[in-house]
Amino acid sequence: MSSLLTSAIKLKLRSGVYQIRQYYNLGVPEDIAKTAYQYKPIHDEATGLITVTDHGVMVRSGYNFSVSNPGKLGFGEYKFKASNIDGGFSAGSDLWEHGTTSYIAEPHECIIARYAQIYTTGWTLINGTYYTGQVDRVEYVNASMLEPYSVSFYCTPIDMEKLSGYTWGMDDFDEVDLSSIGSMQAPLPENN
Amino acid sequence: MPFGSGFWTGDWVGVEHPHSFPNPSLTTDATNVNWRQYTLESYVTAECIQGPLNGYQGDDPASLNVGKFLLRRTTDSSIEIIVQCVEPYARGFSADPNLIIVDLMSDGANDDPHRGSYYAPFSKISGSSPADKFTFWVRGSGAGTLYDYYLHHKQPIAFRGVVSEVIGAMLMYAGYTASNIDQASFDDAYDAELNVGPDNNNRPYVWVIPEQGETILATIKRVMQHWSHILTYNKDGKFALRPADSFAEFFVALDNNSNVKEIKTWANKNIVLNKCLAMHGGGYMRHLDYSLAVQPNPRLNAYYEPRLKSDYTQAFIDEYSDSNSITKFGERQFGNRIRNTFNERPGTAYGVGRRDGGPLVRDIPRTISIFTEGDPINVAHYPLVHRSEIKDLIMERFLSNEAQIRTFIEVTQDFMGLDYEIGSVVYVPSELGDFRCIKQTIDYNSLTVTSELIRNFPTEYTTASTAVWAYVNLDDAPVGTTVLSEAAGTMTLEVNLTTTALLDWHYQIYISKDGGPWEEFYTTGWEAETGNLDIQDTWSGDTQSVEVIIRATDDDGGGGQCTPTPWVRMPTAIQ
């Protein structure tokens, strides 16, 4: 892991003149089991599909950099905000319906995939910007009670609950049925 | 070097499962007709880990949360007789060391099935004599009643290995696969741990027993304290373990080509720690009144408090401090927190304690703990156990970084900041040293990356073993000149080392052409160089610039060994 960016990307960045394209997909599950997702672009700066108004910041941090202050393991929780003037993100809109199937998902069943690209000889993914996150919740900010105009997505990396939510229990302890001792006739009580 | 064969494919090395047991058989009991003695038919080798390990909880097995041998009377499924005893008596203290007692009677006399137990963190039974067999005794009420008995072995899952192996195994246990684990980073961490010492005695080798109710992440964090890897969830959505001293983590980031927009530097003395008490030794012992000659009914009548107070004035505790740091910052001790416990144990030793509560003997599980002086209460409660030999290394590493003031740098770049990430070692020329990236904030609005870096001091190891650990500081040495020239489409790079301390050391030289990936340019042999070294290589092409870095190391073990020095960039002239 000596260098994460390609030479071409670094040369482009060093030139100081470059184009960045940000792209967002919403993954809508096809069923309650979430066996497959239908991905729907919700923001793509290369095609003029502009909905995201605040791309937000993503913070990651490492654990164990110091004994006295080991720090916090930051997984990259992520929040961004999109315009909802046209109601496209509102509950009941087609966005939350899978499409191929008629399954209508709750927002927290969906995932967000986003990335940034830089234009070199073509659009090239910038390593480190690809992110897939589970939508924890969406939050609508209302201009009035009847017409929401923006929506915030709160996402966490997929599968984090495996680690942060898993607690060791007795099921984690191996139990081995060694063998049957066999039938035994109880001996006489000790005092007899 | 990757982990052991099969590690990532499910054949874990990190989990200790119970070994297979042979069938037990009824052994004639000539001493007492009320008891039946059973002995496992053949000799076994069993490694068992018993609980509780978080301190004395009384002798009621219901309070135990890990580690049980179960003897279940299945004709009455509502009753489960549990004997949490596996640990035989310490060898040499009993003629019948491998004894388990189960008393199913309720006659008011000896109806104490939960007693007669003995537990310890580790036990091992092996050998070829009858005394090396597991033996247990059973008696029941209701003369003539037929019972079916089953012997179950229940043992806590345990992980052992060097830190990287254990954490990798726990992540896989949690269900993560290659799609969520940066296996290459774990392999790098593994390599770094193997570089620490010649064998597991000198490596951060851990044996960890998760505690019921503890999250896997919390267990992983406990293991992390054994070494200086940084655990991170990287940009690819994978867990990564970044070692501090590894070329694979090296990256020269901050120079005129790094697109730095803003940089802030500060020093924080609040994290300085310069004194600690480290402990090895200890164990978990129970004191039994055991008189097999009378009847096989040992009773627990005392226990040896494993908090080591009795050992407090003995040689189990060593003080580690940095006098210069104390003079400069005052005495700054460890606080009394769980975090501050280091425990080390060998992979091959087994717990043997003296049941009279005297000093421990033989190769006991050794515990290294750091705690606040005068308050050893918390020291022996954490089920990470390891070997004492590594204690010095851990403490030296601790002091080499923690006792010094560590400069922080916050640097804001454009997306060039994505060329490294958390855990990367970043060379900062203005500070003449290595830093580690500990935090990154990607702002997708301003398209900037702000990284927080902390000074990383190289670790200098000394040990009482035969290996001579040394350290060469290239910062203090004239490292020569480097010239890049071009003629007729052929690039020539000449590196001339003028340091006079080449003998016995490897020098690694890496180059980066036009900001490209690092590639090895040359690695010297340790035996050949006695003075100046002139290295030259050519390639075809049109290279505009080249960066050259060098460090001292020694990979072959001949003469001496050292952990790699920080990389030093060599100024390169272009002709």
- Model confidence pLDDT, tens digit, residues B458-469: 553 332 222 222
Q: State the pLDDT at residue B304.
A: 31
Could you tell me the residue range of the domain that residue B118 belongs to?
Answer: 24-154
Strands A74-83 and A148-157: antiparallel
Say yes or no: B177 and B253 in one domain: no
Judge whether residue B571 has pLDDT over 70: no
Do the domain assignments include residue B500?
yes
CB contact under 8 A, A163 and B216: yes
In the structure, what pLDDT confidence band is assigned to residue A44 with cuts at 50, 70 and 90? very high
DSSP B168: H
Highest-pLDDT range among A107-111, B50-54, B92-96: A107-111
Average pLDDT over residues B37-52: 42
Q: State the pLDDT at residue B246.
A: 56
CA dist., res. B484 & res. B552, Å (int): 22
Q: State the pLDDT at residue A40.
A: 96
Q: State the best of B442, B450, B520 to mutate against chain A, taking most chain A CBs within 10 Å.
A: B442
Judge whether residue B290 has pLDDT over 80: no
Q: State the pLDDT at residue A79.
A: 92
Say yes or no: B130 and B206 in one domain: no
Do the domain assignments include residue A29?
yes
In the structure, what pLDDT confidence band is assigned to residue B44 with cuts at 50, 70 and 90? very low
Q: Does A15 touch chain B (CB under 8 A)?
A: no
Say yes or no: B357 and B433 in one domain: no
pLDDT tens column, B268-279: 777 888 877 665
Q: State the pLDDT at residue B572.
A: 67
Q: What is the mean pLDDT of chain B?
A: 58
CB contact under 8 A, A185 and B144: yes
With residues binned 3-state (H G I as helix, E B as strand, rest as coil), the percentages for chain B, rounded to 5, are 15, 35, 50
- Cα B433 from chain centroid (whole Å): 27
Count how many Cα atoms sit within 13 Å of the Cα of residue A177 in the half-sphere of its side chain. 5
Average pLDDT over residues B146-165: 58
Q: Is B311 strand, coil or helix?
A: helix
Q: Does A128 touch chain B (CB under 8 A)?
A: yes
CB contact under 8 A, B157 and A80: no
pLDDT tens column, B327-384: 988 888 754 332 323 333 322 222 222 222 222 222 222 333 333 222 222 333 333 3
Q: Which candidate, A16, A15, A29, places its Cα nearest to that of A107?
A: A29
CA dist., res. B433 & res. B89, Å (int): 54
Q: Is A163 strand, coil or helix?
A: helix
DSSP bridge partners of A134 = A111, A156
In the structure, what pLDDT confidence band is assigned to residue B206 with cuts at 50, 70 and 90? low
Residues of B in contact with A22 (CB under 8 A): 444
Do the domain assignments include residue B454?
yes
In the structure, what pLDDT confidence band is assigned to residue B221 with cuts at 50, 70 and 90? confident
Between residues A38 and B302, which one has the greater pLDDT? A38
In the structure, what pLDDT confidence band is assigned to residue B470 with cuts at 50, 70 and 90? very low
Q: Does A4 touch chain B (CB under 8 A)?
A: yes
Torsion of CA B377, B394, B166, A172, to 10 degrees: 0
Cα angle value B312/B318/B324 (rounded, 5°): 135
Last residue of a domain, one of B154, B188, B215: B154
Q: State the pLDDT at residue A2.
A: 63
Q: State the pLDDT at residue B53.
A: 29
Q: State the pLDDT at residue B448.
A: 97
Q: State the pLDDT at residue B322.
A: 87
Q: State the best of B105, B258, B415, B440 to mutate against chain A, taking most chain A CBs within 10 Å.
A: B415
Do the domain assignments include residue A70?
no
On whether ipTM exceeds 0.90, the answer is: no
Q: Which residue of A has its CA nearest to B171?
A: A163
Last residue of a domain, one of B368, B384, B402: B402
Interhelix angle B216-224/B163-173, rounded to 10 degrees, is: 170
Say yes or no: B113 and B40 in one domain: yes
Between residues B318 and B96, which one has the greater pLDDT? B318
Do the domain assignments include residue A61?
no
Q: Does A185 touch chain B (CB under 8 A)?
A: yes
Q: Measure in Å the smallest separation between the Cα of B92 and chain A Cα atoms.
A: 28
Q: Does A178 touch chain B (CB under 8 A)?
A: yes
Q: Measure in Å the smallest separation between the Cα of A108 and chain B Cα atoms.
A: 19
CB contact under 8 A, B152 and A166: no
Do the domain assignments include residue A176?
no
DSSP bridge partners of B288 = B300
Return the exposure string of B220-243: e unless at least 16 CB atoms fall within 10 Å of the residue's CB, then b: bbbbbbbbbbbbbbbbebbbbbbb
Q: Is B299 strand, coil or helix?
A: strand
CA dist., res. B18 & res. B211, Å (int): 18
The per-residue DSSP string of B6-36 comes to TGGGT--SSB-PPPP-PPEEEE---S-TT-E
Average pLDDT over residues B232-237: 87
Say yes or no: B131 and B68 in one domain: yes
Q: State the best of A178, A180, A183, A192 to mutate against chain B, taking most chain B CBs within 10 Å.
A: A178
CB contact under 8 A, A176 and B237: no
Residues of A in contact with B232 (CB under 8 A): 60-63, 73
Token pair 């006695």: residue: B530
Q: State the pLDDT at residue B297.
A: 34
**A55, A164, A178: residue with CB nearest B217:** A164
Could you tell me the residue range of the domain that residue A44 belongs to?
Answer: 7-52+78-166
Say yes or no: B262 and B308 in one domain: no
Q: State the pLDDT at residue B243.
A: 82
Q: State the best of B419, B427, B441, B567 to mutate against chain A, taking most chain A CBs within 10 Å.
A: B419
DSSP A27: E
CB contact under 8 A, B213 and A164: no
The structural domain count of chain A equals 1
In the structure, what pLDDT confidence band is assigned to residue B428 with cuts at 50, 70 and 90? confident
Average pLDDT over residues B236-257: 72
Torsion of CA A42, A47, A49, A53, to 10 degrees: 90
Residues of B in contact with A172 (CB under 8 A): 156-157, 173, 210
Q: Which residue of B has its CA nearest to A116?
A: B444
Q: Which residue of A has its CA nearest to B229?
A: A64
CA dist., res. B497 & res. B482, Å (int): 9
**B104, B233, B271: residue with CB nearest A73:** B233
Q: State the pLDDT at residue B432.
A: 64
Judge whether residue A151 has pLDDT over 60: yes
Considering only residues 38 to 77 of chain A, which have any Cβ-Cβ distance to chain B shorter than 8 Å?
54-71, 73-76
Range of lowest pLDDT (A121-135, B3-17, B316-330, B452-466): B3-17
CB contact under 8 A, B36 and A172: no
In the structure, what pLDDT confidence band is assigned to residue A182 with cuts at 50, 70 and 90? very low
Judge whether residue B502 has pLDDT over 60: no
Last residue of a domain, one of B402, B423, B454: B402
Q: State the pLDDT at residue B515.
A: 62
CB contact under 8 A, B143 and A59: no
The structural domain count of chain B equals 5
Q: Which residue of B has its CA nearest to A64?
A: B230
Compute how many other C-beta atoms are within 10 angstroms of the C-beta atom of residue B46.
19
Do the domain assignments include residue B358?
yes
Do the domain assignments include residue A125?
yes
Judge whether residue A157 has pLDDT over 80: yes
Q: Which candidate, B359, B394, B200, places its Cα nearest to that of B281?
A: B359
Cα angle value B158/B161/B165 (rounded, 5°): 100
In contact, B234 and A127? CB cutoff 8 Å: no
In contact, B272 and B328? CB cutoff 8 Å: no
Range of lowest pLDDT (B17-21, B175-179, B331-335): B17-21
Say yes or no: B28 and B149 in one domain: yes
Do the domain assignments include residue A66?
no
Say yes or no: B359 and B457 in one domain: no
Do the domain assignments include residue A109?
yes
Q: Using a cut of 0.80, tell me whether the model's pTM lies above it.
A: no
In the structure, what pLDDT confidence band is assigned to residue B155 with cuts at 50, 70 and 90? very low
Q: State the pLDDT at residue B557.
A: 44
CA dist., res. B542 & res. B294, Å (int): 92
CB contact under 8 A, B230 and A62: yes
Residues of A in contact with B512 (CB under 8 A): 3
**B18, B21, B439: residue with CB nearest A61:** B439
Q: Does A99 touch chain B (CB under 8 A)?
A: no
Residues of A in contact with B174 (CB under 8 A): 162-163, 166
Q: State the pLDDT at residue B294.
A: 34
Compute how many other C-beta atoms are within 10 angstroms of the C-beta atom of residue B171.
23
Q: Which two tokens stand for residue A186?
A: 């109880």
Q: Measure in Å the smallest separation between the Cα of B531 and chain A Cα atoms.
A: 30
Say yes or no: B185 and B65 in one domain: no
Highest-pLDDT range among A58-62, A72-76, B241-245: A58-62
Between residues B112 and A71, which one has the greater pLDDT? A71
Do the domain assignments include residue B520?
yes
Average pLDDT over residues B517-546: 69
CA dist., res. B439 & res. B451, Å (int): 6
Q: State the pLDDT at residue A178.
A: 35
Highest-pLDDT range among A94-98, B22-26, B71-75, B104-108: A94-98
Do the domain assignments include residue B8?
no
Q: Measure in Å the smallest separation between the Cα of A69 and chain B Cα atoms.
A: 7
DSSP bridge partners of B326 = none
User: What is the length of chain B?
Assistant: 575
CA dist., res. B85 & res. B298, Å (int): 12
**B17, B139, B418: residue with CB nearest A127:** B418
Judge whether residue B292 has pLDDT over 70: no
CB contact under 8 A, A186 and B211: no
Q: Does A170 touch chain B (CB under 8 A)?
A: yes
Say yes or no: B181 and B230 in one domain: yes
Say yes or no: B248 and B237 in one domain: no
Say yes or no: B148 and B236 in one domain: no
Between residues B473 and A53, which one has the greater pLDDT? A53
Q: Measure in Å the smallest separation between the Cα of B437 and chain A Cα atoms.
A: 8
Range of lowest pLDDT (B216-225, B276-285, B481-490): B276-285
pLDDT tens column, A1-13: 567 888 899 889 9
Q: Which residue of B has its CA nearest to A75?
A: B233
Do the domain assignments include residue B97?
yes
In contact, B388 and B205? CB cutoff 8 Å: no
Torsion of CA B235, B249, B415, A160, to 10 degrees: 10
Q: Which candidate, B197, B206, B3, B163, places its Cα nearest to that of A63?
A: B163
The amino acid at residue B289 is D
**B217, B230, B259: residue with CB nearest A13:** B259
Between residues B512 and B169, which one has the greater pLDDT? B169
DSSP bridge partners of B494 = B483, B536
CB contact under 8 A, B151 and A178: yes
Q: Count of CB contacts below 8 A, A vs B?
A: 311
Q: Which residue of A has its CA nearest to B452?
A: A61
CA dist., res. A73 & res. A76, Å (int): 9
Q: CA end-to-end span of chain B, whole Å?
A: 39
Do the domain assignments include residue B15?
no
DSSP B389: G
CA dist., res. B436 & res. B451, Å (int): 10
Do the domain assignments include residue A180?
no
Q: Measure in Å the smallest separation between the Cα of B63 and chain A Cα atoms.
A: 13
Do the domain assignments include residue B542?
yes
Average pLDDT over residues B111-139: 43
